[in-house]
Structure 1
Amino acid sequence: MSPVADMSMDIDGHEVVPLLPETWDLFAGMAGRTGLFGGCWCVHFHCLPDPPEREEMGNPAFKRMLVEQGVAHAALVLDDGEAVAWAEYGTLTELPNIQHRKQWEAETVVPPDFRITCVQVRKDHRRRGLGSVAVKGAVALVAAAGGGRVESYPHDLPPGKKMSASFLYNLTRTTYENLGFTYVRPKGQGNCVMELQVPPA
């Protein structure tokens, strides 16, 4: 059995694996294919302030370094041996930077244990619920790490308004509500704070 198979989970009939050095090539295959908002490689949320080595190394090498150091986490959804979706998660130390951070800091009384900062689905696999599968995978990995309170910051769209999936970097409020998250408060223009208490596995 391959190392990837050893660490895989079945979630809603889909294979999900954690982002680790052993699964880096799966992540890189999707990140390199989609471009991810101008080639960000889900690095932005790790950096506060932006370290000089990020520019020196470039986003792919910098992200790989974080994975090898064990401070970059994600749940990867696989299809036919390729990553087609993921949800990035981590502690606040690992992911200190979020959109509307100053507002969040001013309004937060008790910080969460973990946060989900980015959910991506490959363009040719959208509208299949794989974003939800990725979030469920992240929650399962949090549970395996001991559980805790998880926050996420999805888009909070008014009724009838639609947004291109290319710009939905963290799904929608409705999606998170369907996953059991509770609405906490608005954040910035068109986003919100939602939370879920995850028991240990």
Structure 2
Amino acid sequence: MSGDTLRGRPAYCGVVQTPLVVRPLDAETWPAFAALVEANNGVWGGCWCMGFHVKLGKGRTAEQNRNDKEQRVREGTTHNALVFDGEQCVGWCQFGAPQDLPEIKSKRLYDKGLTTLPDWRITCFFTGKGHRGRGVAAAALAGALDQIAQRGGGIVEGYPEETDDRKVAGSFLHTGPMGAFERLGFTRTRPISPHRWVVTRTVAPA
């Protein structure tokens, strides 16, 4: 698979090799992930990449989100493909089973047209300040697909925004840009908002 990376193998963004590598989020890589989140205000004001696991708000604090994320890492119920530049984590792509990531964007319209749940969801991307425009999201997505293949593969859904006719700041494309998904073989299945689509592809087991 073009772009596949795991634990120290070079990441490929399109046809250009970069020094980025992709590793899974686990106990070993948690400190580097936490350092990136802390350097970016907890990510969106303290989400800690928990917004697709549970409903945020209602008194939840950034500290609670951090603790819950770390606990899920220990339990193996959260999955992020972390992008590294050397020893520094510079971004990620989150993925997981639908039961672990139930709080997707545009959920009402998604549920209205739902026929069958996928095996995997790709829910969000984040790139740290100073590292945008380097292909971090593309490397993260390729790495997530590689990790999904290692876990048995299956039908994978994403929920990116298309930006064909408008300019959108990268920080707002937290569910991913359409182009990154389509370059890795995803096809548009159905729209669930004016600019957000369900996209799918099947990943073979490794």
TM more than 0.5: yes
- Structure 1 residue identity aligned to 2:83: V
Which residue is 2:29 aligned to? 23
| Partner of residue 167 from structure 2, selected from 148, 162, 165 | 162
Q: Any gaps of 5 or more consecutive residues in structure 2?
A: 1-5, 13-17
- Cα distance in 2 for partners of 1:29, 1:128 equals 20
Q: 1:9 corresponds to which letter in structure 2?
A: R
The CA RMSD measured in Å over matched residues stands at 2.1
Tell me the CA shift for residue 157 of structure 1: 2.2
Structure 1: gaps spanning 5 or more residues: 1-5
Aligned pair count?
194
Provide the identity percentage: 35
Displacement after TM superposition at 1:11 (Å) = 2.0
3-state SS, counterpart of residue 88 of structure 1: strand
Partner Cα separation in structure 2 for residue 158 and residue 130 of structure 1: 20
Which AA in structure 2 matches 1:11?
A: A
TM-score by length of 1: 0.89
| Contact 1:84 1:121 (C-alpha < 8 Å) held by counterparts | yes
Distance 1:28 1:43 in 2: 13
Moved over 3 A (4+): 6-9, 50-57
2:130 aligned counterpart, secondary structure:
helix
1:77/1:133 contact within 8 Å kept = yes
Task: Classify the secondary structure of the residue corresponding to 2:162.
Answer: coil
**1:80, distance to aligned residue in structure 2 (A):** 2.2
Q: Alpha-carbon deviation of 1:15? A: 1.4
How far apart, CA to CA, are the structure 2 residues paired with 1:87 and 1:118? 6
What letter corresponds to residue 136 of structure 1 in structure 2?
A
Amino acid at match of 2:170: A
Alignment of 1:2-81 (within 5 A): 7-12=7-12, 13=18, 14-35=20-41, 36-47=43-54, 55=61, 58-81=64-87
Specify the code of the residue in structure 1 equivalent to 2:44.
F
